[in-house]
Structure 1
Amino acid sequence: MPNGLRLNNWEEDRMIVVAERCRDAAVVQLYIHDDSEDFHLPLPAGKLRVGDHLLFYSRSAEEPTIMVIYMGNRRVCTSETVKRAASSAARKLQVEGFASAYLMPVSARIRTLFGIPAEDWLTAWAEGWLLGSYQFHQYKTASPEPQPVYLQVDTGSFSTLSVQVMEQAVHTAKIRAQGNILARNLVNEPANTLFPGEFVERIVSHFNAAEGVQTCVYQGEELVQHQMNGLIAVGAGSAHQPVMLQVRYTTAPELPLLALVGKGITFDMGGMNIKNGNDISDARMDMGGAAAVIGALDIIVSKKLKVNIVALIPIAENVPDAKAMLPSSIIHYPNNMTVQVGNTDGEGRLILADALLHAERLGAKQVIDIATLTGNVGAALGLGIAGIWGDEQMSAYLVEAGEKCGERLWPMPLMDEYECYLHSDYADINNTSSLPLAGAITAALFLRRFVAEDMTWTHIDMAGTSQYKSETAYAAAGASGYGACLLADYVAARASCRGK
């Protein structure tokens, strides 16, 4: 696989194994209100917070260092609590220079006291461990790359699970982590190494050997023939040609076609409405929606789910140039809609419109688009939760999936009264609102204009959740990989329901 699209070798080489005990470090989970798990070492006075960890260093070669990580109340423990705790533990041990760790046995009463099944607990822990060790150091030469901390899970740690079930749980975790890390790597790449053509090449190469996957690349004259005029206009100022990438995965063709649409602006300079600031490096992350769709598809394909899916990724650079789209330009779409470009920095919706129309052309009955679309959604919801608009039932299923995997969503309204904010005196609609209010809602209203009447549609604005602004106890600064597991889990849940 090309650089940036594969996991580090240590992840591919059984970083987490079900095996005999190692002696480097031992990880102990500590819960409140559980007398059966009294801890024999002294704990500091004061209340511990969920995710806090303590290190008790070994005093001899015969005993391991012990890490205690506080998990809170076992009865309300969730998969996300477990995943973040594991991530935090892995990062701390990595910083401390430990080479391996041993997960101490879990209570035999795990099935009755946990709110999640034992195998799901193990999957969450293993997934968190892999993600916690993630670093994007591809271009650092001055310092050595941090070494991973290998985790061993003793076959007797989960008395209710067989070795086969434990190994499957770990395997599932590796698939999920791989999809998330794939998305993170793509989003973290600098703009000079991940421009439209390179982005397409990497994705096509990544899925080249995958069974049941077919890719199709629309560019140049093909964009003109398919009237993908939003994409053509947005990419006009760049030295790199815009592209519409189509990745089809069909293992159950009898099912309604689901389209996953991801915004792929590899660098958003704002076009002629140029962005300003001391450092706009984060503009390279405006393809977070595209990365989420690709990461999700990687998980779906690896799990060999019975689905009928097409990923549609409009890819372009939005930069100023003599040939760049000008404010006041009118774009004609093949659904007979004309759009006045009030602001060239509202480019995401222009290329998503092309993808939504193409989804209709392919016969999609359901569509989910995901994009780093507006700063407004972050102002409304913060950096820990994305907004979702559209079909109520589909939105409810996505919200449920997000609550389980930690990639949360909050339903937002499609206010018909706000349609007037998109009024244009010269075209059917303007690409930006006439008011500085409700920007995320008016963006969703704009996209709705390009959704076929017989399609079930939801829109996810993930602009606030696409990255960790600074390093945390459980994650490195940079791309979060948000959306990969969310979309994959939604597809898996819907596939499971259809199979019953």
Structure 2
Amino acid sequence: MNIVIDSADSADILVYLAFEEEAFPLKLGEAHKRSGSATWLYSRTEEELDVLAVGMGKRRDLTLEKIRRAGGYAARMAQREGKSRALLVRIANEEGSAADGDREVAAADWLQAWAEGWLLGLYRFQTYREATRINDSVDLLLSSSDWAELKAVEMDAVLVNARIRADGAMLARDRVNESPDTLNPDTFAKWMEGYFDRDDSPVKVRVYRGQELVDLQMNGLLAVGAGSKHAPALVEIRYEGNPRLPMLALVGKGVTFDMGGMNVKTASDISDARMDMGGAAAVVGAMDILLRKKANVNVTALIPVVDNVPDAEAILPSSVVRFPNGLTVQVANTDGEGRLILADALIHAANIGAAEAIDIATLTGNVGAALGLGIAGIWGDADMTQSLVEIGERNGERLWPMPLMDEYEADLKSHYADLRNVSTSPFAGAITAALFIRRFVAESMKWIHIDMAGTVQYKQDMSYSEAGATGYGARLLADYAMKKEQQ
């Protein structure tokens, strides 16, 4: 899937942008100009090209996410029709250039959003496909004359940036989509070590296993992983692009398969349990983006990886886990495992000197019930929250601020330990999970918790995501880290 400027090869379709209440060079009803629509206008002669008219809604309501979604949808439509080269025609009405009407969206941002959407829209996870494999791709052709605001070198830079960002998100998608046959705590940790710890990489990777976890008192990881034949690990990935900056820790939950432990899941199809490492994948994707952009940042990824499966050695409900910050936790439900391993990682983040920490996890189904599947919940430091929410509104990985209700902590009280790992109440599960995690955050460290359980996957093809993993969080975390370097 190439993106080419002023290609010598001819296109086999034209992609036009159709805006409501504006003239269009071909006959097209207003209903087909609404955002989210796409209409084929087939050629009448061999000399003409087929046209795909992509509805953009009203120009004044245009956002980067609408552009991104339109790009992804257009790419998918072209692929389904067997097209191989699509020319984007930015000037779609006779009254003036798109640049005249898009003053609210800078040309570089516009182009980057479309290119990101196009690349992400063509993503397919096909590792295990044979007879149903899709080999067709669609090149995006651009004409420099349509982008008079940008010099050639600027266009190139925008497209390189779009590909890096899309590749980071697709890397996260690949990890989340992967089968537990090949992705388990052992292989995931080894993959991260091999991927990031290369001769040409300014990254230091350390994997804590076995006795090292015991010595560090990472008892959450040890308890959750006790039932699996694959030993747990904590992967530490340090990228010191600018070691003079305060360290930002990105903590991603990496439960490669969540069977629920002894509180075993009983649904008829629990294939999605392989996706309980979506937070870890988001962190991996973010680190990939930062590394490839040679970002001037100081970021350490902390990824606890573990299986949560039942076995004779598995931790039993009512067991007590001791943490090195002095807290004891009654494991009232072994399916509340994510917060136990995040506790280990956050304690470690403070120990290695992190000034800020963001943990991201597929933690509770409750957050999806509250917010749906298009937006994640965020808790914690007010300034960090505001910054992340603003970033999410621009890059499409949206967040909604949620409250830390102190009085709800009463539902985490245990009769024989300091805390329960799950609430005694059936309500506000996402909030009480955040409250639990907060108890393991050092006072010296600013902290954010993101519950992305609802956003980790789509059940059906949507705009620039096929059914399956979305890659949510990779661009969000990378953008936050890069924003810090500008401050």
Same fold (TM over 0.5): yes
Contact 2:70/2:463 (CA < 8 Å) preserved in 1?
A: no
Q: Does 1:448 align with 2:425?
A: no
Q: Does 1:67 align with 2:67?
A: no
Q: Does 1:296 align with 2:283?
A: no
* Aligned residue identity for 1:127: E
Aligned to 1:336: 326
Aligned to 2:68: 83
Write out aligned runs for 1:346-361 (5 A).
346-361=336-351
* Aligned residue identity for 2:3: I
Structure 1 residue 111: deviation in Å?
A: 6.0
The separation in 2 between residues aligned to 1:119 and 1:423, in whole angstroms, is: 52
Aligned to 1:3: none
Structure 1 residue 133: deviation in Å?
A: 0.5
Write out aligned runs for 1:230-309 (5 A).
230-309=220-299
Q: Does 1:172 align with 2:157?
A: no
Q: TM-score, normalised by structure 2?
A: 0.96
The separation in 1 between residues aligned to 2:6 and 2:321, in whole angstroms, is: 61
The one-character-per-residue Cα deviations of 1:276-316 (angstroms, maximum 9, x if unpaired) are: 11100000000000000110111111111111110000000
Aligned to 1:200: 189
Contact 1:111/1:118 (CA < 8 Å) preserved in 2?
A: no
Q: TM-score, normalised by structure 1?
A: 0.94
Aligned to 1:57: 42
The separation in 1 between residues aligned to 2:460 and 2:27, in whole angstroms, is: 32
The separation in 2 between residues aligned to 1:240 and 1:40, in whole angstroms, is: 61
The separation in 1 between residues aligned to 2:288 and 2:21, in whole angstroms, is: 40
* Aligned residue identity for 2:88: L
Structure 2 unaligned regions, length at least 5? none
Worse-matched range after superposition: 98-107 or 231-240:
98-107
The separation in 2 between residues aligned to 1:144 and 1:308, in whole angstroms, is: 41
Contact 2:11/2:141 (CA < 8 Å) preserved in 1?
A: no
The separation in 2 between residues aligned to 1:425 and 1:346, in whole angstroms, is: 18
The separation in 2 between residues aligned to 1:64 and 1:152, in whole angstroms, is: 14
In structure 1, the residue corresponding to 2:145 is in which secondary structure? coil
The separation in 2 between residues aligned to 1:45 and 1:452, in whole angstroms, is: 56
Contact 1:74/1:114 (CA < 8 Å) preserved in 2?
A: no
Aligned to 1:493: 483
**Matching residue within 446, 457, 461 for 1:471:** 461
Structure 1 unaligned regions, length at least 5? 1-9
The separation in 1 between residues aligned to 2:302 and 2:148, in whole angstroms, is: 45
**Matching residue within 16, 22, 29 for 2:3:** 16
Q: Does 1:110 align with 2:95?
A: no
The separation in 1 between residues aligned to 2:419 and 2:49, in whole angstroms, is: 66
In structure 1, the residue corresponding to 2:447 is in which secondary structure? strand
Structure 1 residue 45: deviation in Å?
A: 6.3
Structure 1 residue 112: deviation in Å?
A: 5.7
* Aligned residue identity for 2:4: V
Aligned to 1:417: 407
The one-character-per-residue Cα deviations of 1:317-364 (angstroms, maximum 9, x if unpaired) are: 000000000000110111111101000000000000000000011011
Contact 1:76/1:115 (CA < 8 Å) preserved in 2?
A: no
* Aligned residue identity for 1:214: K
Aligned to 2:24: 39
* Aligned residue identity for 1:272: M
The separation in 2 between residues aligned to 1:140 and 1:359, in whole angstroms, is: 40
Structure 1 residue 475: deviation in Å?
A: 2.2
Aligned to 1:148: 137
Structure 1 residue 489: deviation in Å?
A: 1.0
Cα-Cα RMSD: 1.3
Between the two proteins, what is the percent identity of the paired residues?
54
In structure 2, the residue corresponding to 1:282 is in which secondary structure? helix
* Aligned residue identity for 1:30: A
Structure 1 residue 428: deviation in Å?
A: 0.6
The separation in 2 between residues aligned to 1:47 and 1:484, in whole angstroms, is: 33
